């Protein structure tokens, strides 16, 4: 499992190519050769970039769903809609396909934000708005999500 750290700004060129920062590339170095999967986010107007290893872990969970249950089938179809395999080109650029650029509203200014084991790819204005919107409720959200988590074994509370 990879634990990514940081938020990075970059620019998309006219074809939707991004140059990853040196700091992010360094974190991704051990897994660059395996490629990535890029997909629409379920909850936000952004994209999610999964290292192939992380995508395969997620797909093992999805593959356990019973496809004879309509809700499961509908979920799988929508969850994987627009999914693309992505690799860095020879110049170290990441190409965001046009349909995914449109979904995320990506034009020029882009934010790559680590989300533990994946990278969220945002239009900068949408990212700033999402962060601002979340700020008001973040203390309550943090308490609700993490307040009852106690891992005695690792001395984390």
**Chain segment 63-104, per-residue pLDDT in tens:** 999 999 999 999 999 999 989 999 888 888 899 999 999 999
The mean pLDDT value for 133-150 works out to 73
Q: What angle do CA 32, 38, 40 make, to 5 degrees?
A: 155
CATH number at residue 70: 3.40.1550.20
Q: Decide if pLDDT at 44 tops 50.
A: yes
36: in domain = yes
Whether 129 maps to a domain, the answer reads no
Q: Confirm whether 146 is domain-assigned.
A: no
Whether residue 118 lies inside any domain: the answer is yes
The CA distance from 103 to 146, in Å, is: 31
pTM of the prediction?
0.85
For residue 116, CA distances in Å to 6, 17, 50, 55, 120 come to: 10, 23, 11, 13, 10
Identify which has the larger pLDDT, 144 or 45. 45
Give residue-wise pLDDT tens across range 93-102.
899 999 999 9
Count the domains in the chain.
1
Give the pLDDT of residue 135. 62
Q: What is the pLDDT of residues 112-126, one digit of tens each?
A: 999 989 999 999 999
Q: Give the Cα separation of 83 and 78 in Å (integer).
A: 10
**Structural domain boundaries, residue 119:** 7-123
Is there a domain that residue 135 lies in? no
Q: Which residue has the tokens 């979340």?
A: 134
Query: Measuring CA to CA, which residue among 103, 114, 96 is closest to residue 37?
Result: 96
Domain assignment present for 46: yes
Residue 35, classed as helix, strand or coil, is coil
- The token pair that represents 88 in the structure block: 């860095």
Does the residue 62 lie in any domain?
yes
Domain assignment present for 157? no
């Amino acid at each position: 499992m990879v634990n990514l750290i940081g938020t990075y700004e970059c620019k998309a060129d006219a074809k939707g190519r991004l140059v990853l920062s040196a700091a992010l590339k360094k974190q991704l170095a051990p897994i660059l050769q395996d490629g990535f999967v890029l997909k629409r986010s379920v909850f936000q107007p952004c994209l999610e970039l999964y290292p192939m290893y992380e995508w395969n872990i997620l797909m093992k969970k999805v593959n356990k769903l019973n496809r004879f249950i309509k809700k499961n089938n509908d979920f799988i179809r929508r969850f994987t809609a627009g999914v693309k395999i992505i690799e860095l080109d020879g110049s170290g650029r990441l190409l965001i396909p046009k349909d995914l650029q449109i979904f995320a509203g990506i034009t020029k200014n882009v934010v790559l934000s680590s989300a533990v084991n994946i990278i969220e790819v945002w239009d900068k204005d949408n990212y700033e708005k999402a962060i601002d919107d979340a700020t008001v409720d973040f203390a309550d959200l943090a308490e609700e999500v993490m307040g009852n988590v106690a891992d005695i074994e690792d001395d984390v509370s």
